[in-house]
Amino acid sequence: MAAPDDLTLWYDEPAIDWETQALPIGNGALGAMVFGGTGTEQLQFNEKTLWTGGPGSRQGYDSGNWTAPRPDVLSEVREQLDREGTMAPEAVAARLGQPKSGFGAYQTFGDVWLDLPQGSPTDYRRELSLREAVARVAYTAGGVRHERDYFASHPGNVIVGRVSADRPGQVSFTLRVSSPHDDKRISVADGRLTMRGALPDNGMRFEAQVQVVVEGGTRTDEADRITVTGADSAVFVLSAGTDYADVYPAYRGEDPHDAVTAAVDKAVEQGYEALKRAHQEDHQALFDRVRLDLGQRAPEVPTDRLRAAYGGGDSADDRALEALYFAYGRYLLIASSRAGSLPANLQGVWNDSTAPAWSGDYHVNINLQMNYWPVGPANLAETAQPYDDYVKNMVAPGERTAREMFGARGWVVHNETNPFGFTGVHDWATAFWFPEAAAWVTQHLYEHYRFNGDVHYLRETAYPVMKGAAEFWLDTLCADPRDGTLVVSPSYSPEHGDFTAGASMSQQIVWDLFTNVAEAADVLEVDTEFRERVRDALGKLDPGLRIGSWGQLQEWKADLDDPGSTHRHVSHLFGLHPGRQIVADSPEAAAARVSLAARGDGGTGWSKAWKINFWARLLDGDHAHKMLSEQLTHSTLDNLWDTHPPFQIDGNFGAVAGIAEMLVQSHHGVIHVLPALPSAWPTGSVSGLRARGDVTIGVSWRDGAAEQITLHAGRTGEITVRAAGAEGVRDERGDEVVAHRSGDTLTWSARVGGSYTIGTPA
């Protein structure tokens, strides 16, 4: 095994527990959790489309749409809210909700087991190299060094394992596959094990194949297992699929057999070395773009002990954990979200259960959006493609829900959804109603455009779904009898308090959507009449920014906030992050700070990750770092997964975005360098972050101040940089560039492909 580096998770014992100890590999569609046992090796694996529920479900499937028309019910709720001000969630759910039917759940596919000769292993090591995207296990037994390597290849759509030893003829094991799904058959022929079946709930067909290839020794096929004896090494290749298709309304496509067979055949033909090379090129093209140096060095203790000893102080080991956690979040997004499959769900792609928490689904009242926060700033644009496809595919079912439930144009989705276009409601009183979700899920598409400046993408991908979401709100906003402004009603601040009209988050989300869609229509020079309607509504919209009696930013239109509430959702700060409605140093930002301080530093894993971003946007690096420390100390498992509890991957992704926000911000058209650098990071550097306007940026700093800033312009246009003490701008030839200075900001005209350097006084 190669010498460890600073971006490797490692342990000196096998994993026993899936959730806290096993190590994840994945290629977006396929995922596996590696345990690294010495007597028995376990690889639990997933394929992201294997879901119960949806069309054909035994329970009956209604997409969450009301099973019978309820013509007056929405207006009755609105009238009651206008009369009484608030309604209990249970009362609203009784009128507008409906029990879930056939929603389904994400399923584990099964496990690959290797039964190995027992020995007394010494010098054990299990690791996950983030740079290589390879999980490894190594130990010595009977004087032989054994090693196993695993990776999940996106180009090959396979999971690959290699079993080797440092002496010839020492590799022996039996490979078998199991699965909790009843209706399956396992067969073996020519070293290939096939497991095939259909889920009893919805008839979804699934198939996995594993091919074993030996070098030296013998391979013996049995009825349901393959035994390797006395080989020099052996490789196994696994692929899996289902007959799911992301096409409304049936969501079914081809039988998976041909695609799985072709993937395994091709991988076997390619051979291990070529597969691994292609995998690493693919992974490193994304992973290597960003480097973060906080003064870490390769830690001398295993990752579980590194985490247990973490204190958020000023030791190099603490920096090592923080830098590792940042890199791990980027690794996890690459491993769980690649083109051609569904987006990362609540657990990315990893799930060992048939009944995971919250169905392992797509919650769109925070969680799915959070998963994609790192995409822009942390330079992982490619990972958003499944998200874009998923959002586009929600439009057709969402139009039906908008029409049937609201009598509105456009499209809508509520609190949570699945791969089968569940855009309606359920009846969990504090989480069933959230029509703002459609507007919010389109935010990322516009942000994608803001980062990369790609007008074609804006026209073809982002704008149509944004426009549909905006049409819905143009038809659905209500005039508030209190002051005549346009409000969302009924409106519910996620999972907190009563229903009201015009809760701050609802208003801020609609503000964000209308602002974005009007800007987009300007850029595209389309839809003049629609643009006018949007701008007119924006002018009448209650902006959802009110400062209350104790100086807080109000969560509701009426001043109902309890200063003692430490609820994990801090939804009314949406305009601070992920929105851009609140500007740092404004009265609203000061009020947001009061609200945030009152909510405290606790919360579930994802809640802490939100707070890293909030404090960073409030330009308070020390508090942002405090939240990172809280997350690492109290909401991080030994395998560095975020825990809600249970394991929920949004916290990993939210923290990556938060760290990026501490180093560079660009949401207001100015590239603010080191806006929230904590005192715990006095010296360091980062390269490869992205700023809006198609700029790639790096910065090195010393004693808390930027030393050198480098920017690479992806397009021709103006760049404005804000950096304390910035001197002039030089181009790649070292020539001074004419820049306009105003305080700490410098503005100049950049050329596509140009590289610029800004120094600060030594």
Residues making contact with ligand FUC (CB under 6 A): 346, 358, 363, 365-367, 431, 495, 604, 606, 644, 648
Q: Which is nearer to ligand FUC, 346 or 592 (CB)?
A: 346
Q: Which is nearer to ligand FUC, 644 or 667 (CB)?
A: 644
What amino acid is encoded at 295 in this protein?
G
Q: Which is nearer to ligand FUC, 296 or 443 (CB)?
A: 443
Token digits for 197?
A: 């079946």
Q: Which is nearer to ligand FUC, 124 or 428 (CB)?
A: 428
CA dihedral 426, 428, 433, 437 (to 10 degrees): -80
What's 506-537 look like in SS3? HHHHHHHHHHHHHHHHHHHCCCHHHHHHHHHH
Shortest reach from residue 430's CB to ligand FUC, in Å: 8
Whole-angstrom Cα distance, residue 697 to residue 762?
20
Shortest reach from residue 637's CB to ligand FUC, in Å: 16
Contact between residue 151 and residue 159 where contact means Cβ atoms under 8 Å apart: yes
Shortest reach from residue 183's CB to ligand FUC, in Å: 29
Shortest reach from residue 623's CB to ligand FUC, in Å: 22
Whole-angstrom Cα distance, residue 156 to residue 613?
36
Q: Which is nearer to ligand FUC, 136 or 568 (CB)?
A: 568
Q: Which is nearer to ligand FUC, 636 or 760 (CB)?
A: 636
Contacts of residue 526, defined as CB under 8 A and 6 or more positions apart, other chains included, come to: 463
Contacts of residue 333, defined as CB under 8 A and 6 or more positions apart, other chains included, come to: 344, 371, 374, 375, 378, 380, 383, 653, 656
Shortest reach from residue 327's CB to ligand FUC, in Å: 24
Shortest reach from residue 547's CB to ligand FUC, in Å: 26
Q: Which is nearer to ligand FUC, 365 or 442 (CB)?
A: 365
CA distances in angstroms from 444 to 525, 573, 592, 737, listed in the order given:
21, 17, 23, 34
Shortest reach from residue 366's CB to ligand FUC, in Å: 6
Q: Which is nearer to ligand FUC, 372 or 606 (CB)?
A: 606
Q: Which is nearer to ligand FUC, 145 or 634 (CB)?
A: 634
Shortest reach from residue 568's CB to ligand FUC, in Å: 6
Shortest reach from residue 72's CB to ligand FUC, in Å: 29
* Closest-CA residue to 38 (of 123, 97, 154): 123
Q: Which is nearer to ligand FUC, 235 or 570 (CB)?
A: 570
Whole-angstrom Cα distance, residue 129 to residue 324?
11
* Closest-CA residue to 260 (of 244, 240, 242): 240
Q: Which is nearer to ligand FUC, 356 or 675 (CB)?
A: 356
Contact between residue 616 and residue 662 where contact means Cβ atoms under 8 Å apart: yes
* Closest-CA residue to 204 (of 419, 355, 424, 421): 419
Q: Which is nearer to ligand FUC, 366 or 591 (CB)?
A: 366
Q: Is 464 helix (H, G, I), strand (E, B) or coil?
A: helix
Give the CA radius of gyration of the chain: 27
What's 57-107 look like in SS3? CCCCCCCCCCCCCCCCHHHHHHHHHHHHCCECHHHHHHHHCCCCCCCCCEC
Shortest reach from residue 346's CB to ligand FUC, in Å: 6
Shortest reach from residue 752's CB to ligand FUC, in Å: 42
C-alpha of 7 from chain center: 20
Shortest reach from residue 495's CB to ligand FUC, in Å: 5
Token digits for 171?
A: 């590799």
Partner residues linked to 145 by β-bridges: 140
Whole-angstrom Cα distance, residue 414 to residue 422?
9
